[in-house]
Amino acid sequence: MHRKTYTQVAYKENLKRCTRCLGYKEFKEFHKRSNSADGYAPSCKSCLSDVHKKIYDSKRVKPVKKLGDQIHCRRCEKYLPEESFGRSKTYCKSCWSDLGHTNNINKYGLDRDTYVDLEKEQNGVCKICGEKEIYNKRLSIDHDHTCCEVGKSCGKCIRGLLCSRCNKALGMINDDIVLLQKMIDYLS
């Protein structure tokens, strides 16, 4: 018995078969992919769109709380009119900008909601000095640098949130307890 090859099964009259929906579609219905044998992605654009929507929906935050026509900001805990919110409808515009860029938070193994929960645990102040951030930005995420590779964190080694001043001080001494003790002795 003769076995059909992949190319015989996957192509039919200048059509390509999608690996997800198993339908035959024109090549323009597929994204181009240079590292693929035929130069196109294995799944059609509409199937990939559905996959990306599912991934996006699975990462979405808790449902939006409303009080009448006002929406609850998860960070500042205020009910504000809808105009005070951007697309997220979870954080008001001022809190959104204070939180910083998501990819910066994500590199520490956190998402915005986890960051906000951590910030609330510390009452919005630095874990070392107990002061609010003096610059117009969010508190910095401090983690044990010996745990993970440079520039990333597993999320389990997060020590707390620090103001810029305390975070820079720890960074300058490379978390060296001996050096820190020498500095304390010097100041004493």
Beta bridge partners of 40: 32
Domains of the chain: 6-59 (3.30.60.130), 61-99 (no CATH), 100-187 (3.40.1800.10)
Provide, rounded to the nearest whole percent, the portion of the chain with pLDDT above 70.
82
Taking the model in full, what pTM does it have? 0.52
Radius of gyration of the chain from its Cα atoms, rounded to whole angstroms: 25
CB atoms inside a 10 Å sphere around CB 90: 23
Q: How many angstroms from the chain centroid is the CA of residue 64?
A: 19
Mean pLDDT lowest among 7-21, 35-49, 61-75, 118-132: 7-21
- In the structure, what pLDDT confidence band is assigned to residue 182 with cuts at 50, 70 and 90? very high
Cα 168-142-118 angle, rounded to 5 deg: 130
Measure the CA–CA gap between 55 and 63, rounded to whole angstroms.
17
